[in-house]
Copies of this chain bind each other. A is one copy, B any other.
Amino acid sequence: MSTKRALTDRESALPALAEAFREHGFEGATLAALSKATGLGKGSLYNFFPGGKDEMMKAVLENIDGWFADAIFSPLENVSDPAAAVTAMFDDVTAYFRSGRRVCVVGCLGLNSSGETFAVEVKDYFARWISALAHCLEVAKVPPAMAMDLAEEAISGIQGAIVLARALSDDTSFQRIVHRLQSTLLDAIGRCG
């Protein structure tokens, strides 16, 4: 337990870092803000993340990707009951994004030039999510082309719901939109299964 503690604290700072990046964006998240959010001084932050903000964001993205892999992607990829998996996915996503009050860090990074450094991570995140969902639909006997279209539409739709819910400061619009996306997928599963 000598070198482990560093990693532990580094790991435990990630949620707070993620929240700060979510709130202010990558450019807007100053080191002062990150320090305040984590409760760590500059010294500690640079001790854990010698690469500065870039490394912090990389770590945050890895952390998010890990969470999604466990909670969202894997269940879709190793699915046995597609309808249940789709329902679970939407429940988890709604909880994760707090009905749109919480922004998608990955999606935001893609929107402006400050995120170009992380283009690969951003791309992989969405590509994996879509293909996992498409696979789940294919298991439910949805034709591959249609499965891909529906998956793309659903992931895109979730991102749009976040944008709109934030813009209108209205959780309910997120819930309505996401619920409609879920119904569309379940309908397809029901029709083809």
The chain A residues found within 8 Å of chain B, CB to CB, are 22-25, 27-28, 103-104, 106-108, 110-114, 119, 122-123, 125-127, 149, 152-153, 155-164, 166-169, 173, 176-177, 180
Contacts and interface: CB of A to CB of B under 8 A. Distances in A.
Contacts of A27: 24-25, 27-28
Nearest to A167: B110
A112 B160 contact: no
A110 B163 contact: yes
B112 A28 contact: yes
Contacts of A173: 152, 156
Contact of A114 (B25, B113, B160, B163): B25
23 contacts: A24-B27, A24-B112, A25-B113, A27-B28, A28-B113, A28-B114, A103-B112, A104-B163, A108-B112, A111-B162, A111-B166, A119-B169, A126-B164, A127-B168, A149-B180, A152-B173, A152-B177, A153-B157, A156-B164, A156-B177, A157-B160, A160-B160, A163-B163
Contacts of A112: 22-25, 28, 103, 108
A93 B114 CA distance: 25
A86 to B, nearest CB: 18
Contacts of A160: 155-161, 163
